[in-house]
Structure 1
Amino acid sequence: MTASLEQLRRCHFGVDLGAARTRVYIRGAGLVVDQPSVAAVNTRTGALIAVGEFAEKMTGRTPGYIRVVRPVSGGTVVDIEMAQRMLRQLLGEKLRRALRRKPRLRAAACTPHEADPLAQRAAIETLVGLGARRVELVDTLIAAGVGCGLPVEQPEATMILVCGAATTQVAVLSLGSIVTAARIAVGGEAVDRAMVQHLRLHHELMLPSQAVRPLQLALSGNGPTANGPTTEVHGRDVATGLARSVKVDTAAVRDAIQTPLTAVIDGIGKVLRDCPPDLVADLADRGIMMVGGSALLPGLDQMLRQATGMPVRIAERPDVCAVLGLGAMLEGKIEPMVLDPLAA
């Protein structure tokens, strides 16, 4: 990690292209972009209509000639041209002009653990399209560990769980490197689908995508229905197609989302089995640090405590840990541990 830190200190900006949100950190300016990774396109003219939050609000509400697209899936850029256009609009003309004035513009990007060469190449080409002359790739697990304050450079074990929209990554870190890690194809979107499927099967109700978030708040006990066992949701009747509201038992919905969350527990068990015993002993005291936008899923932290018997903590700002860690490395705030060779 020492060599990569030296290279990162020469970078001018960093990008965390996630399936749910895109974040941009500019050295000296901080976090300047934090918007949904969504773009709306006019299919007749090819013009970009909206990006970010406004484009996300258009999901499911557009006429036939407007298409809402997500150029990033599972942390991997699947549409390079659209990702470049989206990033240009999110940055704005003023920031793009400031970046273009940098001599030999360098960029950094977060990539999922063990991303294949095609995924890495897609991330590089996306930033090259913004004018970057060189692009450094940083593992999301390392960046998130730095961003949430874990001592990743020390010779002690720390376990991090990055809960994304499409995937969940879990790893044990020590001496600035990944000892063992696993990538699980379950994220916040899988939990949302489980909620929608439960309402369709048990209540014959089609739940719109915009109604999933209020239901999550009710499950987590942070919403207005925290003291009640039921919450009211609005959707479309499967049989008649008419609008209908139903009272949903939050306990039943909580049981329905346990199935996708079980895969996360299995992934943690696999990582612990592959980890050296000395490091596992460290983890028994330090526990698991949860980061990522889906770390606040209802009951996930409690479920992990019961399954592993380890302490589980959620980072202070779990959704932006990766990009803040990347920014800390760009700013030179992370000092590598220097190992002096012993004299013979």
Structure 2
Amino acid sequence: MTASLEQLRRCHFAVDLGAARTRVYVRGAGLVVDQPSVAAVNTRSGALIAVGDFAERMRGRTPAHIRVVRPVSGGTVVDIEMAQRMLRGLLGDRLRRALRRKPFLRAAACTPHEADPLARRAAVETLVGLGARRVELVDTLIAAAVGCGLPVQQPEATMIMACGTATTQVAVLSLGSTVSSERIPVGGEAVDHAIVQHLRHQHELMLPSQSVRPLHVALSGIGLTAQGPTSTEIRGRDVVTGLVRSVQVDTAAVREAIETPLTAVVDVIGRVLRECPPDLVADLVDRGIMLVGGSALLPGLDEMVRQATGMPVHIAERPDVCAVQGLGYMLEGRIEPLALGPIVI
């Protein structure tokens, strides 16, 4: 953990800047912001038109002078100024003024595991621009593990897989720190891309960008298993004629299409386990792997990991908000540090 629990208890609010969604937790008020990390800007005047849900609905439907941007990619702020403007819009004037009235305003933020110094600096500068006098950084994996109730502070192994939009992080945690971990640039976007390419090549159908997530919903549950429905109806634009057309998509073929990106996720689990001490690996036989992150609910992901590893696989109750919940627990003082007894010589 980058920041100590004592330092985090002094923070007034926490921010989880994700590639897909931005979440803000205020001490004493709980989760106050949970919206897409999207902003719409007028390129002629530079004015901010919309943020969050409304800006997300504008994606792919704007005229030439309006640009919809994502200032966060893979958990890293790539445009500090735009991220600050987006956060101001998401917080609103009333909440922002309430935070600024705090003496010596402190903030906490999630950063990807082993983030480089530039990424960490970008996260700090983004929150300093909102008025924070001090910013504490917390490893996303540890925050998510705390948020889903794993015994992070105990001398026993817990394995967590954070499935994000652009990246997937896998780690084994013990004693409040990371023992072995790895991050790969494969996430929900890679699965979306595989589905879109499958429909384009096999059915000559272009799927609108905002129709990929509803497709996940249609195929969720047992949709991508052998017991699920054999086909589902999808509507999109014909590549040749440009007209709207509906096709019956074979779920077995979709399952094969997304296996390529998901196989990379399974491979990284084996590499992380090989770097762990045998005692910690033994702890994981019964406890298994906890899936968190917005892409943890991808249809068939948990079953694929279970079959490949032979270990129990659990999905957190609310996998998308585990990281910000973990930060909130630390801010509220619900997590106690490991207490060691006196050493007798």
TM-score normalised to structure 1 length: 0.97
Q: How far apart are the structure 1 equivalents of 2:181 and 2:135?
A: 24
More displaced 10-residue stretch of structure 1: 140-149 or 206-215: 206-215
8 Å CA contact 1:22–1:37 kept in 2: the answer is yes
Match in the other structure for 1:167: 167
Match in the other structure for 1:278: 279
Q: How far apart are the structure 2 equivalents of 1:102 and 1:185?
A: 38
Match in the other structure for 2:239: 238
Alpha-carbon offset, residue 343 of structure 1: 3.2
Gaps of 5+ in 1: none
Alpha-carbon offset, residue 237 of structure 1: 1.3
The residue correspondences of 1:286-325 to structure 2 (distance < 5 A) are 286-325=287-326
Match in the other structure for 2:105: 105
Alpha-carbon offset, residue 39 of structure 1: 0.4
Q: How far apart are the structure 2 equivalents of 1:341 and 1:192?
A: 54
Q: How far apart are the structure 1 equivalents of 2:263 and 2:231?
A: 24
Gaps of 5+ in 2: none
Q: How far apart are the structure 1 equivalents of 2:3 and 2:253?
A: 51
Match in the other structure for 1:74: 74
Match in the other structure for 1:138: 138
**1:281-321, CA deviations, whole angstroms, 9 ceiling, x for partnerless residues?**
00011000001110000000000000000000000010000
Amino acid corresponding to residue 337 of structure 1 in structure 2 = L
Amino acid corresponding to residue 342 of structure 1 in structure 2 = I
Alpha-carbon offset, residue 218 of structure 1: 2.2
Amino acid corresponding to residue 106 of structure 1 in structure 2 = R
**1:248-274, CA deviations, whole angstroms, 9 ceiling, x for partnerless residues?**
111111110000001111110000000
Amino acid corresponding to residue 157 of structure 1 in structure 2 = A
8 Å CA contact 1:215–1:231 kept in 2: the answer is no
Matched, 1:92 2:92: yes
Q: How far apart are the structure 2 equivalents of 1:174 and 1:188?
A: 27
Matched, 1:49 2:49: yes
Amino acid corresponding to residue 70 of structure 1 in structure 2 = R
Q: How far apart are the structure 2 equivalents of 1:101 and 1:113?
A: 32
Alpha-carbon offset, residue 222 of structure 1: 7.1
Q: How far apart are the structure 1 equivalents of 2:60 and 2:171?
A: 36
Q: How far apart are the structure 2 equivalents of 1:186 and 1:228?
A: 27
Identity of aligned residues (%): 82
Alpha-carbon offset, residue 231 of structure 1: 1.3
Match in the other structure for 2:126: 126
Q: How far apart are the structure 2 equivalents of 1:236 and 1:43?
A: 29
Residues 124 and 8 from structure 1, CA distance in 2 versus in 1: closer, same or farther, beyond 3 angstroms?
same
Q: How far apart are the structure 1 equivalents of 2:254 and 2:171?
A: 29
3-state DSSP class of the match of 1:132? coil
**1:78-123, CA deviations, whole angstroms, 9 ceiling, x for partnerless residues?**
0000000000010011100100000000000000000000000000
Matched, 1:268 2:236: no
Matched, 1:328 2:326: no
**1:196-217, CA deviations, whole angstroms, 9 ceiling, x for partnerless residues?**
0100110111111111112112
Match in the other structure for 1:183: 183
Match in the other structure for 1:61: 61
Aligned length: 342
Q: How far apart are the structure 1 equivalents of 2:54 and 2:98?
A: 25
8 Å CA contact 2:3–2:138 kept in 1: the answer is no
Q: How far apart are the structure 1 equivalents of 2:13 and 2:84?
A: 15
**1:150-195, CA deviations, whole angstroms, 9 ceiling, x for partnerless residues?**
0001111010011100001110011111111110111001000000
8 Å CA contact 2:195–2:258 kept in 1: the answer is yes
Match in the other structure for 2:197: 197
Match in the other structure for 1:40: 40
The residue correspondences of 1:211-230 to structure 2 (distance < 5 A) are 211-221=211-221, 228-230=229-231
RMSD across aligned positions (CA): 1.4
Residues 38 and 29 from structure 1, CA distance in 2 versus in 1: closer, same or farther, beyond 3 angstroms?
same
Amino acid corresponding to residue 335 of structure 1 in structure 2 = E
Residues 305 and 201 from structure 1, CA distance in 2 versus in 1: closer, same or farther, beyond 3 angstroms?
same
Amino acid corresponding to residue 140 of structure 1 in structure 2 = T
